[in-house]
Structure 1
Amino acid sequence: MAGMQAGVELAGFGRRLGAYLIDLVWLLPLSVLLGLVAGLVNGGEISWGGEVMGNVVVALVVMLFWAERRATPGKLVVGVRIVDAATGGTPPLGRLALRYFGYLVSALPLGLGYLWMLWDRQGQTWHDKLGRTLVVRERR
């Protein structure tokens, strides 16, 4: 954590899992709603283009939360934030986009990239490494 302030506490696996589960509560209905709208526009059939558009909208909503609040609603509830690994500040938008793309990379080998934080010295998942981010506990 070169450049990070001393005393920063990394978010543990349990907090991160809790944030993910909370985010599913609002992201899943949003995804379903977008799929239904895409199906209605396409005459009742869900098309490949509708699926892509739904995923892009969800990605943009998540990245907007990251850019504005450094956290999704789930992360806010459990008291963690995403920070630039070098500075502790808000990561640039390009790196947040890489981090989001990294979710796919983390998931592909049976979720190994998500579990990687369990033995990584900096508690980083593969998507954290790709975006050069850390997830830290918020100071109260």
Structure 2
Amino acid sequence: MINEYYILKHGNQEGPYTHTQLMDMGIGSTDFLISPLADGPQQAADLPEFREYFISVGIYMPTPQNVATFWWRLLAFIIDYIIVIVGLVIGFGAIGVFIGLTHRSVDFESPDLDLFYRVLFFLALVAYHSTFEATTMQGSIGKLICKLIVVDPDGYRLTFGKALARNFSKLLSSLLCGIGFLTILWNPMKQAWHDQVAKTYVIRKGQ
């Protein structure tokens, strides 16, 4: 029958199942299926009839067609950069008010605090991006506005640990005048160095 599929698990063939039954079972993108319309076993994500199903459950398989371009990622970064700076300014403003009320004296413009500000800003960016990438949003507010999400090689949402590793790896991408970010321009899957290290992809939804 044309609607019969078989699942390969541990070398064994299970089935037959219909297309609807497989979706009700919560078929995974990396599960191998024998399809009546394909030659040999294939991953479910490679079968076009399951594409809409995976998207509906939040699984976006990275392909050369749907990975986000450098310019979309740059726009999202600019939005996020502004958000983090505004957040830090508000935070420091609140601290300044508290210090004023307690009659303490702190020179926020001291050159000795420059490194502290840089480290704090980087850590704020890491925490901000990692937290949002591990939520159902799968990306920061800037990425949400630009319809971008971050996924693993199988199209799934990142764990917080993987998101944290990805964002700390941005230190690597920032080396040599940021060439690690510019690799998005010529990499076939539009990956920066930190994406390659963490094995992640930035997808533009709707592509």
Same fold, TM exceeding 0.5? yes
Q: Secondary structure at the match of 1:110?
A: helix
Among 125, 128, 131, the residue aligned to 2:192: 125
Mind listing any 5+ residue stretches in structure 2 that lack a counterpart? 1-29, 31-42, 52-62, 100-104
Higher strand share: 2
Corresponding residue for residue 32 of structure 1: 89
When normalised by structure 2's length, the TM-score is 0.57
> Which range moved further: 126-135 or 57-66?
57-66
Greater length-normalized contact order (CA 8 Å, ≥ 6 residues apart): 1
**1:56 maps onto 2:123 in alignment:** yes
How much identity, in percent, do the aligned residues show? 26
Runs of 4+ off more than 2 Å: 3-8, 31-59
Q: In structure 2, what is the Cα distance between the partners aligned to 1:129 and 1:38?
A: 39
The normalised TM-score by structure 1 is: 0.80
CA-based RMSD of the aligned residues comes to: 2.8
Whose helix fraction is larger, Structure 1's or Structure 2's?
1
115-124 or 55-64, larger mean C-alpha shift: 55-64
1:39 CA drift (Å): 6.6
Q: How does 1:91-110 map to 2 (within 5 A)?
A: 91-110=158-177
- State which structure, 1 or 2, has the greater radius of gyration over its C-alpha atoms: 2
Is the Cα contact below 8 Å between 1:79 and 1:137 reproduced in 2? yes
Count residues in correspondence.
Answer: 138
With over 3 angstroms needed to count, the CA separation of the structure-2 counterparts of 1:19 and 1:53, relative to structure 1, is closer
